[in-house]
Amino acid sequence: MANEANNFAELVSHCKEYGYIFQSSEIYDGLAAVYDYGQNGAQLKKNIRDEWWKSMTQLHENIVGIDAAIFMHPTTWKASGHVDNFSDPMIDNKDSKKRYRVDHLIEGFADELKAKGEKEAKEADEILAAMDALLAKDDYAGLKKLIEDNKITCSVSKTCNWTDVRLFNLMFKTEFGAVAAENPDENIVYLRPETAQGIFVNFLNVQKTGRMKIPFGIAQTGKAFRNEIVARQFIFRMREFEQMEMQFFVRPGTQMDWYNYWKEERKKWHESIGIPAGKLRYHNHVKLAHYADAALDIEFEFPFGWKELEGIHSRTDFDLKQHQEYSKKKIQYFDNDLKEDGKPYGNYTPYVVETSVGLDRLFLTILSLAYAEEKWTKEDGSEDSRVVLRIPAKIAPTKLAILPLVKKDGLPEIAKELMNQCKTAFHCFYEEKDAIGKRYRRMDAIGTPFCVTIDHQTKEDNTVTIRYRDSMQQERVTLDEVKNLVQKNIS
Ligand code: GAP
């Protein structure tokens, strides 16, 4: 199975070995929870991002895309509530000094309980329900008691010697400009913890210049930064990551209809890029963020359990109203169409439904589904095996490998001609080294869906062997069919 937990460690090392993901600044022993994408990873990430961008800004006529800066005026984060509220309850172990996010500590304990048996699984569910209730009430003393009552220990010191639960802000700060200010706080800027605020502060710019009519959406992809305390599970929780967010601006009172619409739409989109429906589920939030009147996660069954992949939030008019108040600029929409609906027309602050998916998490989702270690018995009775990335062809980093059987007899020339024909349409890879079987295995390992071999017969009848990654079937097609065949399969 591609997604078994015990394959996760293999998947992580496969990502490194085949140019998908490297630890950031590895030569200096790395930087915790920060990763670099290699030559195949960067291309796969781009392909996923492009699919999302296309589905939002091309397939929806009322959604446009922007690219706002990472640095924003510091008041943005005061207005959005992030300076005061963007914090997680943390607890420190007094013996090891290790800090934990309270929910992660309790969830980790519950996972261990669940693995023990049915009775313990029931107990774990009760603990999780108690945690949800305490989080919803911001009852930090109650959370500490829950940890102590269940004798939840630190993984390092193995003791239950805990501090009180405290809030810890997740935003990274840095200094702006070369001139030292009298008050050092004046120079502070934050690395954005979400891309959404770049959309809110540009609401009027986009609405006016694009003559957008409500309902409409603004989409953007880009880096976000959070000083996560427990950064773990590879690229699942990172300190620097990429989000793909869309804010959909609607009439007040219609937000729940749009919330339900986007909830369905987004799940369907995930299925359209190859995620099986059975591996996705909704999880309604018990404790709502400070800006939301409804929220849910679309969860995916990762090799380490069901976890959030995308958030759908009904953000009310909170953000636009806050920016209006802090900037002292009127941020409203004049709705001509209300008159047609028999209502007095006029200005209002739109409500917002947000869809927010982590690109890195989606990348991990796709790779964990794609990774497979396969073994089989050949016709002659001998064993064979391979590691393959069954990435859907339309997002695979390389679509076609062009492989002359030998480095002579005019075969490389024919192969290069095919390469020139195809490379303007999709990403191709040319290789003439090593035995053909070895080259096929390498292409399986990086997830290339099609390989074409040019051999001596090509010179006689203009045909080549095309090999399909998933079935390993091969067939003979004419040279001039190759481009169309691949294009048909990746569109
Ligand atoms: N604008 C709303 C927002 O940021 P969120 O639920 O905090 O909501 C949205 O984040 C998505 O961003 C998550 O569903 C997840 O996919 C991704 N994400 C959040 N924190 C992340 C992290 N530390 N590393 C990787 N992805 C993260």
Which residue has the least CA distance to atom 6 on ligand 1? 311
Q: Which residue has the tokens 């794609």?
A: 370
- Looking at CATH, the fold of the domain delimited by 5-77+170-366 is given as BirA Bifunctional Protein; domain 2 (3.30.930)
Which among 24, 171, 243 is the best mutation to test ligand 1's pocket, defined by most ligand atoms within 8 Å of the CB?
A: 243
pLDDT at position 462 is: 96
Contact criterion met (CB below 8 Å) for 451 and 420 = no
Query: By alpha-carbon position, which residue is closest to atom 9 of ligand 1?
Result: 356
Q: How far is the CA of 242 from the centre of ligand 1 (A)?
A: 8
For residue 7, the tally of other CB atoms under 10 A from its CB is: 18
Taking only the tens of pLDDT, the chain with its 491 residues reads 333 445 899 999 999 999 999 999 999 999 989 999 999 999 999 999 999 999 999 999 999 999 999 999 999 999 999 998 888 899 999 999 998 989 989 999 998 999 899 999 999 999 999 998 898 788 999 999 999 999 999 999 999 999 999 998 999 999 988 666 667 677 899 999 999 999 999 999 999 999 999 999 999 999 999 998 766 689 999 999 999 999 999 999 999 999 999 999 999 999 999 999 999 999 999 878 778 999 999 999 999 899 999 999 999 999 999 999 999 999 999 988 776 666 666 889 999 999 999 999 999 999 999 999 999 999 999 999 999 999 999 999 999 999 999 999 999 999 999 999 999 999 999 999 999 999 999 999 999 999 999 999 999 999 999 999 999 999 999 999 999 999 999 98
How many angstroms does the Cα of residue 10 sit away from the middle of ligand 1? 25
- Name which residue sits closest to atom 22 of ligand 1, judged by CA: 237
pLDDT of residue 2: 38
Q: Which atom of ligand 1 is nearest to the CA of 311?
A: 14
How many of the other CB atoms lie within 10 Å of CB of 274?
16
pLDDT computed for residue 152 by the predictor: 96
The CA 185 to ligand 1 mean position distance, Å, reads 27
Q: What is the 33 CA–ligand 1 centroid distance (Å)?
A: 14
Q: How far is the CA of 243 from the centre of ligand 1 (A)?
A: 7
Query: Which atom of ligand 1 is closest in space to residue 310's alpha carbon?
Result: 14
Name the CATH code of domain 398-490 (choices 3.40.50.800, 3.50.50.60, 3.20.20.80, 1.10.101.10). Answer: 3.40.50.800
CA distances from 73 to 79, 171, 186 (A): 10, 14, 11
The residues spanned by each domain of the chain are 5-77+170-366, 87-169, 398-490
**C-alpha span between 329 and 294 (Å, rounded):** 27
Question: Does ligand 1 come within 6 angstroms of the Cβ of 319?
Answer: no
* C-alpha 325 – ligand 1 centre gap (Å): 26
- Residue 431 makes CB contacts below 8 A (sequence gap 6+) with 401, 402, 403, 439, 442
144 lines ligand 1 (CB under 6 A): no
Q: Please determine whether the domains at 5-77+170-366 and 87-169 fall in the same fold group of CATH.
A: no
Angle value at C-alpha 17, between 11 and 23, nearest 5 degrees: 80
CA–centroid distance, residue 235 to ligand 1 (Å): 12
Q: Is 85 helix (H, G, I), strand (E, B) or coil?
A: helix
CATH number of 87-169: 3.30.40.230
Q: Residue 226: what pLDDT?
A: 96
Cβ of 88 closer than 6 Å to ligand 1, yes or no, is no
Q: Which residues on neighbouring strands pair with residue 169, listed in sequence order?
A: 87
Count Cα neighbours of 431 within 13 Å in the Cβ-side half-sphere: 19
Separation of alpha carbons 440 and 460, rounded Å? 24
Q: Is the CB of 263 under 6 A from ligand 1?
A: no
Give the DSSP H or E segment for 137.
none
Q: Which residues of 338-362 are buried (b: 16+ CB within 10 A; e: fewer)?
A: eeeeeeeeeebbbbbbbbbbbbbbb
Residue located nearest, by CA, to atom 20 of ligand 1: 237
Measure CA 231 to chain center.
15
pLDDT at residue 181 in the model: 65
Strands 305-316 and 400-404: unpaired
Q: What angle do CA 480, 484, 486 make, to 5 degrees?
A: 110
Pick from 220, 356, 360, 366 the residue to mutate for probing ligand 1's pocket: most ligand atoms within 8 Å of its CB.
356
Nearest protein Cα to ligand 1, atom 5 = 311
Q: How much is the pTM?
A: 0.88
Q: Please name the helix (run of DSSP H) or strand (run of DSSP E) that holds residue 374, with its range, or none.
A: strand 371-377
